[in-house]
Amino acid sequence: MLKIAVLGIGLMGLPMSRRLLAAGHPLSVWNRSPEKAAPLVAQGARLAPSPREAVQDADLVITMLTDGDAVGQVLFGEDLPNAASGLRPGTLVVDMSSILPAQAQAHATRLQALGCTALDAPVSGGTLGAEAGTLAIMAGGDAGAFEAARPVLEVLGRPVHVGPAGSGQLCKLANQMIVGITIGAVAEALLLAERGGADPAKVREALRGGFAESRILEVHGLRMVEHDFAKRGSLAVQLKDLRNAMHTAAELGFAAPITEHLTALYRAAFDQGLGEQDQSALFQHLHALQPHRTGH
């Protein structure tokens, strides 16, 4: 069994780490708020006081952090004993955070200079997928590194190698564009149905199995009709990913008008105070945009 270090124990890192422990991998973990890792320690993980100490004996390192700046700080930063100072040559570093493709490429170059190999392997499927081990895993980097990481990644979900360094992040941006736009479409459609007098729960039921069927209609649509916006994947993170998509589109000279419009809607929802709710809470913002009707 490979010795694994996980840097970042949050909504996704916790259930992913639990699966790695259940599969029998020796696990060391680090998190800026160490109390979040307490459940893993109870299951046999070793809690390290710094990224450097977490990775010193690891064959494979997984980062699951908020954004590219956080990944850069944990790997190479000066505000704490960083991971790069503890990595052994030959260690495989798999960044499963969602960051900019250009950042992933830069991190891979720096890790290669240390004699390590790198994959950018962001995921989709949320906390439910992390718990069930059914995450979609989009990996960019060397094909040999992907094959070396595959047995570990298959504990967490369904990994696919999509191209060279940065390609995993490009794939994740495509994923988040589809997710963010589809959440908006489902929310607007259900609100229209409700406004016209139909039962939105029954409308969702009627749409299931037709061409409008999607995982978003199934999962997020249910949250909308039940008004259950407890955070599984936050609206703030969805906005971050859409902004990353727009940033990358600008770098590539690519026009993305639909994503641009949805980014503005998520930004307005965030400004409305919905950032720490589930991303399906865009429904609430769209509801608030509806003009008040005094009668027919």
Residue 62's CATH number = 3.40.50.720
* pTM of this structure: 0.90
Low-confidence ranges of the chain (pLDDT < 70): 294-296
Residue of 3, 36, 172, 202 with catalytic role: 172
Residues 139 and 15 in one domain: yes
Query: How many CB atoms are closer than 10 A to CB 67?
Result: 17
Residues 140 and 204 in one domain: no
The CATH number linked to 191 is 1.10.1040.10
Residues 159 and 19 in one domain: yes
Residue pair 241/263 in contact (Cβ under 8 Å)? The answer is no
Which residues span the domain enclosing 220? 170-289
- Domain-located, residue 124: yes
Residues 25 and 147 in one domain: yes
Query: How many CB atoms are closer than 10 A to CB 163?
Result: 14
Residues 93 and 201 in one domain: no
Whole-Å CA distances, 36 to 3, 15, 42, 47:
21, 12, 12, 10
Residues 41 and 117 in one domain: yes
User: Which of 164, 189, 206 corresponds to the end of one domain?
Assistant: 164
- Domain-located, residue 296: no
Whole-Å CA distances, 1 to 4, 64, 153:
9, 21, 13
Residues 98 and 227 in one domain: no
Residue 140 corresponds to which amino acid?
G
Q: Is 202 part of the annotated catalytic residue set? A: no
User: Which of 164, 187, 220 corresponds to the end of one domain?
Assistant: 164
Residues 126 and 251 in one domain: no
- Domain-located, residue 103: yes
Count how many domains the chain has. Answer: 2
Residues 150 and 14 in one domain: yes
Residues 46 and 158 in one domain: yes
User: Which of 164, 195, 221 corresponds to the end of one domain?
Assistant: 164
Residues 155 and 236 in one domain: no
Residues 159 and 174 in one domain: no
CB neighbours of 35 closer than 8 A, spacing ≥ 6?
A: none
- Domain-located, residue 294: no
Residue 126, pLDDT score = 87
